[in-house]
Amino acid sequence: MSTPARPQSLADLEALVAALKARGIVTEEELAARQAQTDRASPEIGARMVARAWTDPAYRALLLSDGAAAAEAMGVSMAGAPPLGVLEDTAGRHHVIVCTLCSCYPRAVLGYPPHWYKSFAYRARVVREPRAVLAEWGTTLPDNVEVRVVDSTADYRWMVLPLRPAGTEGWSEEQLMALVTRDVLVGVALPVPPRAAAAE
């Protein structure tokens, strides 16, 4: 009985890794460390970055000017990762992130992308009808708020710095972090304080 052939893409990847190791460009230890870093990454990292930006003006300025440097300042290695841009929501503009070609995503600060982010339906529809897609998440924005859809690519990744909810003055970083979910960080949801959520 013959062994099923491995997918060509997997075979190609294994051949590339073997060639890099043979030339001394990368070691098994470096690969393992990189994989461990990727596995540790989660939306909590992005949430902590947002919470700090909400409370620290100097960090906010760094986050908006150089997202990768801001991540490094929080102890996140961005070595080998594409540049990270951070889009600031305002009272008149809301950002939504998509990768129209595949599933480019800032994994170092958000972890693995959710299945819906990679789906053709999301990638196609959010560009054509962003308000309708947002409404399906329960996110309804006033008509005077511009919805800007931004394409994440292999060369540049994005995340959102949402507006800080009113009524959160004096909150701790941990309390603020709890408002910032993965969906908030890609712009399909808004940070909602528990009291406001309970009243809805």
The question of whether 104 is a catalytic residue gets the answer yes
The one catalytic residue among 103, 119, 152, 172: 103
| Active-site annotation holder among 77, 102, 119, 172 | 102
9 is annotated as an active-site residue: no
Q: Which residues contact 126 (CB under 8 A, 6 or more apart)?
A: 96, 98, 133, 149
Cβ-contact 188, 139 below 8 angstroms: yes
Q: Which residue in this structure is represented by tokens 């299945």? A: 115
Q: Is 102 annotated in the active site?
A: yes
Residues with Cβ within 8 Å of residue 64, at least 6 apart in sequence: 53, 86, 88, 161
Q: Which residues are catalytic?
A: 99, 102-104
